[in-house]
Chains A and B, each alone.
Chain A
Amino acid sequence: QSALTQPPSASGSPGQSVTISCTGTSRDIGGYKFVSWFQQHPGKAPKLIIYEGTKRPSGVPDRFSGAKSGNTASLTVSGLQADDEADYYCSSYGGSNWQVFGGGTKLTVL
């Protein structure tokens, strides 16, 4: 099982939108609906922001949205704010009691 593929970095100006991709295979993202996204600020534990591809936990702003098509998932952050600057990780269930993460994307707010 290989890690999911994310771009190492992304950036945008305040108020803009940015989309981060996460590519897997038919054995993980393409095979299950359990795709999640996590936000991690420096020195902090990760925080769940999207689950089951498109759902937001209570308290997560609707500026964060998720999508999935085939073996690729994506996270869009709209109306970028300074506090959105963080590392973002995708994850997927991979069958056989496996879980797999992406390598992470560092989002910079210019």
Chain B
Amino acid sequence: EVQLVESGGGLVQPGRSLRLSCAASGFTFGDYAMHWVRQAPGKGLEWVSGMNYNRVDVGYAPAVKGRFTISRDHAKNSLYLHMNSLRVEDTAFYYCVRDMSPFTYGRTFDYWGQGTLVTVSS
């Protein structure tokens, strides 16, 4: 069974940093592109960042480019999101999401974690 479990969320002050983690299991993590998608409370979904299986293709939404960095560790079956210079508008649930097919990027998102809440406030 595919499982994606996010961790690392919490309350952080504006301008500070935070690192989110996603522990993946139930599939060959190293074969799949992975993404982060966020959702502010009561708002819609927003794609944040994605990385393909071999780390060659990487994308960021304009709102986070230059502040957030996505990375992955195949030995640990883990995906990360390093978030710097956090802003109040970054407050959201952050979901770890799997791309549907191995060795592709951008096909669709077939498995979602339950999300971790990041609250940016002074």
A and B associate in one complex: yes
Binding site for B on A (CB under 8 A): 1, 3, 32, 34, 36, 38, 40, 45-48, 51-52, 57, 87, 89, 91, 93, 96-104
Query: Are B114 and A48 in contact (CB-based, < 8 A)?
Result: no
- Can you name the residue of chain B whose Cβ is closest to the Cβ of A95? B106
Q: How far is the CA of A89 from the CA of B58 in the complex (A)?
A: 23
Partner of A104, one of B45, B50, B57: B45
- Can you name the residue of chain B whose Cβ is closest to the Cβ of A51? B108
- Besides A51-B108, A91-B108, 9 more A-B contacts (Cβ < 8 Å) are A1-B62, A45-B113, A45-B115, A48-B109, A97-B106, A98-B59, A99-B35, A101-B44, A101-B47
- Can you name the residue of chain A whose Cβ is closest to the Cβ of B52? A97
Query: Are A91 and B107 in contact (CB-based, < 8 A)?
Result: no
Q: How far is the CA of A103 from the CA of B44 in the complex (A)?
A: 6
Query: Are B50 and A99 in contact (CB-based, < 8 A)?
Result: yes
Q: How far is the CA of A36 from the CA of B110 in the complex (A)?
A: 10
Inter-chain contacts of B68 with A (CB < 8 A): none
A61 to chain B, nearest CB (A): 17
Inter-chain contacts of B45 with A (CB < 8 A): 38, 40, 46, 89, 91, 101, 104
Partner of A97, one of B46, B58, B108, B113: B58
Binary contact track B63-104/A, C-beta < 8 Å → 1, others 0: 000000000000000000000000000000001000010000
Partner of A96, one of B35, B59, B113: B59
